[in-house]
Structure 1
């Protein structure tokens, strides 16, 4: 005999169904845009400012009032839950959020999605009742990082990987893709693990810069023959450059990183970083707001017919060969959209936190 599901699961499913009914019913009588949308990040700093700039651009274009809520403590799930709980009691017509804990925040996201559209961006909560996701395929991004490491170390070597945590879906997927590519045999017909490479550890820091510095120094101390350090989060590249320079090991260990903070791009240009994987947080923010507006209006045809509205934006490896062309593209978009570009600045981090 099949067991009945727990009562709370039935409640969540019912609320989600009611929410979809309300949105579709409202769409039949009005195609007006929503009046207020909330945009909740997973931290502060240049990366999240860029995502917020994209969200503001879309909101201005569509005539929607946008309220950006940035976490003061990076990747802090408790703070983000507190922010989301305040939104649930307020009159927001849609909410975009970058979840810190893909599984742990399902109940919170489901409650919000019961009577308004909720879209995740940058990092997903795929098992929740969110109505859409905008971001990259982080598994593919992890594969790309693994490819870069193998190109950087053709003879193999020991690798240490820095992660924020193991709860965010983007971190989980990047690790999965990276592990798959690193273990992949160079011979497609050979099913054995590529023994040239050894990952000595995946080090988590929970968004704490001091913990990250400690992780870097531990990896260096425990493995004198460490060949490469990989930073899976935007914060990691500047911290890697800082620690390796202070310890006299800059350029002695290869670096592969994520994202394009000004310090990171400077590291690529100067040859300290082999390559960094660029995402498009501006596009994430812009598309998240546009998706929310379409959902509120009942324009279901806007969304893909599979994946509950998942929109994946490609990543790109940036190195010394293409960094100038990349930065020109960023500047061109800033000029076209009337937003501030930080592609060629070094003071963004302090300004973004002020």
Structure 2
């Protein structure tokens, strides 16, 4: 749901005033200090994906000797709550802010105001048109391509496919959809420039982070499309919800599932064959690198960021299925043992 213009104007004015005050509070203040003392880390929710990102951020902050203030919105994917948190943070003495924006375009003014007098880094989901100083995450277009490939592998004869999204405002959702659409329509014959007619995407449904709405979307689609062959869930929440709804409908195992991320329920679904494959990201790495990037930006290290891509650092994704799930989980366990912080966090 789009916010009223007055809401956005109020947020921008508040941030602009705070930014002016900070910039003019001391004539002797240096533009860049040698070492940041306090960094804010803002998620887009409080689930396990975000807890892993926080664990990575805390691990880097402890190693680098930086105070980390973690803010986890209680309402998943809420633009308004996230903006309220960012507005509050703008009045504090933070040397850098990492945020996973819910609305790539709509939050550009907010991010621009924050970035006027301190480094701002986005992670997981980007705001590419904003003045943010860097981005850490995967190439979500490539991740969408991978999802399309997995559908074609799981369903070689083709059929009707449903795609679940959180919203149409997050850059990662936009890019995943674009990549998926490119691959699913790609001709099986490289010599022919035609759309692959074997696959029909019946809809791209959004739920705005609401689990009940997601369940209802799936249930309604099952009724409207009795011949549905595959469902793709493009958010970490979707895997467990899909397993639950299909089990209740008596269709678990009858419809191919391709999901994102590695919640315990999702990995168990991969292990027992209910999910054909899931696309694993590395949120711990996102959080860890976002903090390291902010520290380097604040200290003026010109060697840290890439010279192209406006500071974008992409971390690869990996398709997890029955052939590699054991090895993947061993790697995760080793990461947890090496990390100084457990992958748990609470909303603030």
TM > 0.5 fold call: yes
The alpha-carbon deviation at position 145 of structure 1 amounts to 0.1
2-structure distance, mates of 1:248, 1:255: 14
Instruction: Tell me the equivalent position of 1:36.
Output: 38
Q: Which residue of 1 aligns with 2:91?
A: 89
CA displacement 1:242-293 (0-9 Å, x = unmatched): 0001111100100000000000001000110000000000000000000000
Q: Which runs of 5+ in 1 are unaligned?
A: 1-7, 342-347
Q: Is 2:78 the counterpart of 1:76?
A: yes
Match of 1:300 among 302, 307, 311: 302
Give the CA deviation at 1:300: 1.9
Match of 2:202 in 1: 200
Aligned residues: 327
**1:45 and 1:352 in contact (8 A); partners too:** no
CA contact under 8 A between 1:40 and 1:98: conserved in structure 2? yes
Counterpart check, 1:169 vs 2:171: yes
Aligned partners of 1:152 and 1:118: how far apart in 2?
A: 40
Secondary structure of 2:310's aligned partner:
coil
For residues 315 and 106 of structure 2, what CA distance do their matches in structure 1 show?
A: 25
- For 1:111 and 1:93, locate their aligned partners in 2 and report how far apart those are by CA, in whole Å: 14
- Encode CA deviations 1:290-320: one digit per residue, 9 max, x unaligned: 0000000000221000111100000000001
User: How many angstroms does 1:219 deviate by?
Assistant: 1.1
Q: Which residue of 2 aligns with 1:5?
A: none
Query: Which residue among 131, 134, 157 is the counterpart of 1:132?
Result: 134
Aligned residue for 2:266, secondary structure, equals helix
Instruction: Give the CA deviation at 1:352.
Output: 6.0
How many angstroms apart in 2 are the aligned matches of 1:183 and 1:135?
26
Per the alignment, residue 150 of structure 1 pairs with 152
CA distance in 2, matches of 1:353, 1:198: 40
Match of 1:254 among 253, 256, 267: 256
Q: 1:114 aligns with which of 99, 113, 116?
A: 116
Q: Does the aligned pair in 2 maintain the 1:26–1:297 contact within 8 Å?
A: no
TM-score when normalising by structure 1? 0.89
Moved over 2 A (4+): 24-27, 338-341, 351-354
1:157 deviates by 0.5
Do the aligned partners of 1:237 and 1:257 also contact (CA within 8 Å) in 2?
A: yes
Matched residue of 1:215: which SS?
Answer: helix
Q: Deviations over 1:149-205 (max 9, x none)?
A: 000000100000000000000000000000000000011121000000000000000
Alpha-carbon RMSD across the aligned residues, in angstroms, is 2.1
Match of 1:210 among 212, 232, 235: 212
Of 224, 233, 236, the match for 2:235: 233
Q: Which runs of 5+ in 2 are unaligned?
A: 1-11
Partner Cα distance (2:104, 2:47) in 1: 22
How many Å separate the matches in 2 of 1:79 and 1:37?
19
Which residue of the partner structure matches residue 9 of structure 2?
none
- SS of corresponding position for 1:302: coil
- Residue 58 of structure 1 aligns with which residue? 60
Q: 1:270 to 1:353 in 2, by over 3 A?
A: farther
Residues 58 and 341, structure 2, Cα contact 8 Å, conserved in 1: no
SS of alignment partner, residue 127 of structure 1: coil
Secondary structure of the 1:248 match is: coil
In 2, the alpha carbon distance for the partners of 1:100 and 1:222 equals 30
Task: Say if 2:72 and 2:346, in contact at 8 Å, map to a contact too.
Answer: no
Q: Distance in 2 between matches of 1:305 and 1:25?
A: 25
Contact kept? 2:73, 2:347, Cα under 8 Å: no
Alignment of 1:168-187 (within 5 A): 168-187=170-189
1:146 and 1:291 mapped to 2: Cα distance?
A: 32
Contact 2:71 2:347 in 1 (8 A): no
Does the CA-based 8 Å contact 1:230-1:256 persist in structure 2? yes
The CA distance in 1 between the partners of 2:108 and 2:167, in whole Å, is: 17
